[in-house]
């Protein structure tokens, strides 16, 4: 958590879901300094399930309606053993693994 510190960044990204993580990836690939601000304790956006009615997420039982090959990031294929249409837990795990692989968590607060 950033506490009473003024730090300058080239890019400030709001949210650590799909879009936030990929925005971070591309900003870093262009040598920009990046901070990703996430309201919740963990990345994943709507795929990070919560039963709290004040937090908007997918349902616990959600399965993707798009195939793995359409859903995956171009530089990080999904594991074939997961099948074609993934459960939200698999998407969450995929996003966490993708973020860990690229060390993006160090940019997220």
Query: What does the pLDDT average to over 80-89?
Result: 94
Mean of all residue pLDDT scores within the chain: 89
Query: pLDDT digit string (tens) for 8-64?
Result: 899 999 999 999 999 999 999 999 999 999 999 889 999 999 999 999 999 999 999
Q: What is the per-residue pLDDT for 3? A: 57
How far does CA 81 lie from the centroid of its chain? 21
pLDDT at 6: 57
Check pLDDT > 70 for residue 103.
yes
CA distance 88 to 38: 19
Measured from the Cβ of residue 39, the count of other Cβ atoms closer than 10 Å reads: 8
For residues 22 and 96, what is the distance between their CA atoms, to the nearest angstrom? 12
Q: Please state the pTM of the whole predicted model.
A: 0.83
Put residue 19 in one of left, alpha, beta given phi > 0 → left and psi -120 to 50 → alpha: alpha
pLDDT of 2-22, one tens digit each? 555 657 899 999 999 999 999
- Determine the Cα–Cα distance for residues 98 and 19; give it in Å rounded to an integer: 13
């Amino acid at each position: 958590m950033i506490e009473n510190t003024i730090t300058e960044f080239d890019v400030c990204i709001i949210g650590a879901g799909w879009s936030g993580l990929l925005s971070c990836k591309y900003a870093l690939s262009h040598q920009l300094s990046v901070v990703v601000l996430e309201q919740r304790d963990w990345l994943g956006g709507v795929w990070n399930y919560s039963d709290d009615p004040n937090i908007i997420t997918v349902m616990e039982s959600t399965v993707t309606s798009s195939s793995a090959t359409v859903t995956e990031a171009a530089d990080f294929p999904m594991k074939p053993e997961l099948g074609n249409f993934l459960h939200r837990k698999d998407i969450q795990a995929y996003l966490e693994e993708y973020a860990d692989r690229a060390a993006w968590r160090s940019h997220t607060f």
